[in-house]
Every structure is written in structure tokens, then in C-alpha cells.
Chain A
Amino acid sequence: MIDILLYALLAGLMVAAVCGPLGALVTWQRMAYYGDTLAHSALLGLAVGLVLQANLQYSVLFTCLFIAVVLFTLQWWRNIALDSLLGILSHSSLALGLVCLSFIDNQGLDLNAFLFGDLLAILREDLLNLAIICALVLGLLWRYWSALVAVCAHAELAEIEGLPVQRLRLLLMLMVAATVAVAMKIVGVLLITAMLIIPASAAARVARSPEQASLLAALIGAIAVCGGLAGAWYWDTPAGPSIVLSAGALFVLGQLAPGYRRN
């Protein structure tokens, strides 16, 4: 029994560690809607995996990465406002995923687990896959951190100063896609973006530098995971939503703290 809790805690902490810095970049780049679109396409990946009878984790991962590349190329499509386009894609892919899943006769599939996460069903091999992806994303973030921050601050200046802005943006999208794909098990398709956005937004108020903001966001995410798991353990609440709710509570608390900026 304690195994379940330990695996859940480890998985949650790993996701929080990645979502801290990555979420900070996502909020600075105003990419929240991209995160949603990627998350919703994860469900499509699940349907694809079931149809092809492939490994579900890989099919979700590769679908998310594929959608990330598609989204990246869409920024040059000027016929429709980008936010509307993302909204259409996001909800169409969610709907398509749900419709496809309804056609597939699979008794063992618990749709709720994918929509809202099922942290307490994490297995040892899930943990290993999660660790690999998290380590990879954290390594990439470490390597390209200052360049990514420069692009968030002012993309044109970064480009003039010689940074490959478009490639860095693609890298960011792919990292979000990979994180969304592995975090789906933890908080579910509908709540993943919250793990990226809420801790980062809570941290932004008090942090004094981009680095502080990302570390603080990871810490806030970790506290939220602990809080959510405690709720799930003691009061039998659903773990994913509880984690997001704790993060939301921390955000509200953060607004009471003295901010870095005066205005």
C-alpha cells in the first residue's frame, strides 16, 4: 500500500520539477493555449495507440510531438487569428479523441483516468518512463535556459544577437509536448496546463529573476503535489484535481505576499 503512495509522490514530484521551469517559459511566451491544444491531442494519441495496438505511452508521446510540429508551422498561416485556430484545433482534437475512443471496444480502459489523471495507479515501469522524459527535458532546459529566456524577453533582439529563435521556439514546443504526454497519467488531459501555468504564475510575483521564478515554481508545484496527495489519501478525493486545487490555493496565498515589483 505504501508503494502506491511512494510511486505517486515520486511521479508527482518529477512532473512538478519539470513543470516549474517549463511552465515559467510557457507563461512568459504566452503559450498557455498551445499547452491546452497539446494536452487535448494526447487523447487522440491514446485512440491512435489503441487502434494500432501499440504501446500507449509511445503513441501518446509521438502524437503530441507531431501536433507540436504542426502547431509550430501554423504560426506562418495568416488567414485566421491564431487563438481561434488553436481553440478550434484544441477542442476538435479532444472531441475526435473521445469519438474514436467510443468506437473502440476496450473494457479495461478507464477514460476518467486519462481525463483527470490517476496518480495512485502509477506503476514501477511508468515511473521509469517518466524519469527518462523528465531527465531529458530538464537537461535540455539546463542547456538552453539562457537562450530560451532571452527569446521570451525579446525575440527580435535575441534574433539580431544571433540566437536561432525559431529553432528555440520549436524546442520549447517539443518539450511541452513531451511533458504533457508523460504528465497525462498524473493530472489528466484536462488539467495538465494548470500544472504548467499555476505554479509559474504564483512564483512570478515574488521571484526576482527568471531562475528564481522557475525554481520557486517547481517548489510550489511540489508542495501542491504533496497537498493533493494528502487530500487523496485522507479524504479520498481524486488526486489530479486535488493537486491542481492545492496549486490554485498556493497562487491565491502568493498574491498576499509582498511582490518584487512595485506596480
Chain B
Amino acid sequence: MTETALLRLDKISLKHQQQSLLSNISLSLSAKQIMTIIGPNGAGKSTLIKVALGLTKADSGTIYRRPGLRIGYMPQRLSLNPLMPLSVSRFLAMAKSNTTQIEAALARTGIQHLRNRPLHDISGGETQRVLLSRALLSSPDLFVLDEPAQGVDISGQTELYELINALRDDLGCAVLMVSHDLHWVMAQTDTVICLNQHICCHGHPEQVSSDPEYLALFGRRHAEAVALYQHDHDHQHDIHGDVVCEHKHHD
């Protein structure tokens, strides 16, 4: 298991000014596995992604990335300076790619008609597809997606998730993503990690959706969609989401 892992985090912790952002996070992602991180706002989902990518340094713990691992990263959003004139194809050319590769990526995400448009002028959904195209250009072994459907309308979200699914099947790559779309998460994911600074629970979607921690975080409303059973809590959260009782974390 350890030898085949693309990415492994071991006991990662990160603090910012006394406040714990990530605490004792361990996870392992193998080839072709789809892992989704869910959790409330401020749970540290994006921070965890950035630590996994090496963009942010953890205070403690170790990160292993398979040597030569090609990562396609799709950031949460593109906050382009309004004074920077940039066309879609010029933006994609930054991924050290040639015109043929760019055209192929644009065709794959269905936005060839946007190639010469200014990045400032395209819609939220189109922007996400541009970001997805750029992630494709690194021909990744691992797709890392941070809330890919952000700023996309409902019908566009479904299309985008279908596209991501299709791309994953084509490339045969692993996926690590943050998502709020619990329906997609439950239907398409191999492993779910429920994060609230620490890993509350993890496992197959069915397992997780019946975990009291998951219910505590997402409430009964979401839980109605999935089977529900009662069992003992090993710890609880107070109103701030902090753990009330110490317990042994999953690894």
C-alpha cells in the first residue's frame, strides 16, 4: 500500500497564530483513487489541499509525493488582476505547452470557441473550464481540484462534474478534491474525508454518511438522503467545532 501511494500525508499539523488549522492529518492516495474532502466553511479544506501540493508548509508531519508525480491543479478561483490583459490561449500557454496541446485541451473541455477571448470576459462556468484545461495540460497522474463547481450555476455544475468524471476515466488519474456537492460525493467517490481541522471520519461514502460526526457537521437534512443508524459517538464538537472529548484519531 505504501509503495503504491501517489501521495501520502502523515500526521500533518498546521497552526496560524495559536489557532489550529490542521491537526494530525494522515491520508494516503493511491493511483486512480478518487478522494473527496468535505467539511464546513473554515474546516481547513483548501489549506489541506495546499499542504498536500507543497504550496503551504506544514508545522509538523511528513508529506510523500511519488517521485515524478505530475499534478494537474485546479485552484478554487482565478483572481486575475483587472489590469492584466490575457486571452484564454495565452493563459493556457503558461503551462509550457504548444498550440496543438492547447487546442486539444480546449476541445476536451468544450471551450474551443473561447480561445481568443479575454479571460475577464468569460462566465464563471467557462472560467472553471479554462482552469480545468490548464490542469489537463500537465497530463496529470493526479488531479487536485479545489471546489471545481464554485461560481457555476446548477445545470453547469452537473455538466462540470460529468466532465471531470469523463476526464478522470480518460486519463486514468487519481483525484483529490474539495467539494460541497454531497450528492456527487456520495455517488462518485471512493473515499470521503470529513474534515473539521482534524479528520472527523473517513471511509467509503456510505460509511461516512452514517457517521455521527458527519451528521453533526452537515445536519439531519443532508442525512435524510442516506441510510442512517445510531451508534455511540467517540467525541463531540462544541459550538465552535472544537473537539470536546479527546479521542484517538483515525489514521
Verify if B240 is at the interface (C-beta below 8 Å from A). Answer: no
Verify if A143 is at the interface (C-beta below 8 Å from B). Answer: no
Q: Contacts A154-B78, A157-B75 hold; do A200 and B83 have CB atoms under 8 A apart?
A: yes
A161 touches B94 (CB 8 A): yes
Residues of A within 8 A of B80 (CB): 153-154
A153 touches B86 (CB 8 A): yes
B84 touches A204 (CB 8 A): yes
Per the bound structure, the CA–CA distance linking A263 and B82 in Å amounts to 10
Q: Contacts A78-B17, A161-B94 hold; do A260 and B85 have CB atoms under 8 A apart?
A: yes
Residues of A within 8 A of B120 (CB): 261, 263
Verify if B95 is at the interface (C-beta below 8 Å from A). Answer: yes
In B118-143, which residues have CB < 8 Å from any A CB?
A: 118, 120-121, 134, 138
Verify if A156 is at the interface (C-beta below 8 Å from B). Answer: yes
Verify if B106 is at the interface (C-beta below 8 Å from A). Answer: no
- A14-51 vs B, Cβ < 8 Å mask (1 yes, 0 no): 00000000000001111000000000000000000000
Within 8 Å by CB of A152, from B84, B87, B96, lies B84
Verify if A160 is at the interface (C-beta below 8 Å from B). Answer: yes
Verify if A208 is at the interface (C-beta below 8 Å from B). Answer: yes
| B93: nearest chain-A partner, CB-CB | A146
Residues of A within 8 A of B87 (CB): 208-209
B94 touches A150 (CB 8 A): yes
Instruction: Report B38 CB to chain A, min CB distance, Å.
Output: 22
Verify if B218 is at the interface (C-beta below 8 Å from A). Answer: no
Residues of A within 8 A of B225 (CB): none
**Interface Cβ pair total, 8 Å cutoff:** 74
Per the bound structure, the CA–CA distance linking A153 and B118 in Å amounts to 13
Say which size band chain B's interface belongs to: 20 to 34
Per the bound structure, the CA–CA distance linking A27 and B50 in Å amounts to 26
B83 touches A204 (CB 8 A): yes
Q: Can you list 23 A-B pairs, Cβ within 8 angstroms, ordered by A?
A: A27-B81, A28-B81, A29-B81, A150-B94, A152-B84, A153-B94, A156-B53, A157-B75, A157-B95, A157-B134, A159-B55, A160-B73, A161-B94, A161-B95, A204-B85, A208-B118, A210-B84, A210-B85, A260-B85, A260-B118, A261-B120, A262-B118, A263-B121
Within 8 Å by CB of B75, from A29, A78, A156, A209, lies A156
A149 touches B85 (CB 8 A): no
Residues of B within 8 A of A209 (CB): 85-87, 90
Verify if A181 is at the interface (C-beta below 8 Å from B). Answer: no
Residues of A within 8 A of B118 (CB): 208, 260-262
Verify if B16 is at the interface (C-beta below 8 Å from A). Answer: yes
Task: List 8 tightest A-B contacts by C-beta distance, closest first.
Answer: A204-B83, A150-B94, A28-B84, A160-B73, A207-B85, A261-B120, A28-B81, A261-B118
Instruction: Report A211 CB to chain B, min CB distance, Å.
Output: 9
Residues of B within 8 A of A93 (CB): none
| A30: nearest chain-B partner, CB-CB | B81
Q: Contacts A161-B138, A204-B83, A213-B85 hold; do A153 and B91 have CB atoms under 8 A apart?
A: yes
| B56: nearest chain-A partner, CB-CB | A156
Per the bound structure, the CA–CA distance linking A159 and B78 in Å amounts to 15
B interface residues, Cβ below 8 angstroms from A: 16-17, 50, 53, 55, 71, 73, 75, 78, 80-81, 83-87, 90-91, 94-96, 118, 120-121, 134, 138
| B81: nearest chain-A partner, CB-CB | A28
Q: Residues of A within 8 Å of B, CB-based: how many?
A: 30
| B78: nearest chain-A partner, CB-CB | A154
A156 touches B73 (CB 8 A): yes
Instruction: Report A54 CB to chain B, min CB distance, Å.
Output: 38
In A228-263, which residues have CB < 8 Å from any B CB?
A: 260-263
Verify if A69 is at the interface (C-beta below 8 Å from B). Answer: no
B55 touches A28 (CB 8 A): no
Verify if A201 is at the interface (C-beta below 8 Å from B). Answer: yes
A28 touches B83 (CB 8 A): yes
| A161: nearest chain-B partner, CB-CB | B95
A160 touches B53 (CB 8 A): yes
B90 touches A210 (CB 8 A): yes
Residues of A within 8 A of B96 (CB): 161
- A183-212 vs B, Cβ < 8 Å mask (1 yes, 0 no): 000000000000000001100100111101
Verify if A158 is at the interface (C-beta below 8 Å from B). Answer: yes
Per the bound structure, the CA–CA distance linking A28 and B86 in Å amounts to 11
A153 touches B121 (CB 8 A): no
In A127-149, which residues have CB < 8 Å from any B CB?
A: 146, 149
Residues of A within 8 A of B85 (CB): 204, 207-210, 212-213, 260-261
Per the bound structure, the CA–CA distance linking A210 and B93 in Å amounts to 13
Instruction: Report A193 CB to chain B, min CB distance, Å.
Output: 15
Instruction: Report A169 CB to chain B, min CB distance, Å.
Output: 14
Instruction: Report A219 CB to chain B, min CB distance, Å.
Output: 15
B83 touches A27 (CB 8 A): yes
Per the bound structure, the CA–CA distance linking A263 and B53 in Å amounts to 34
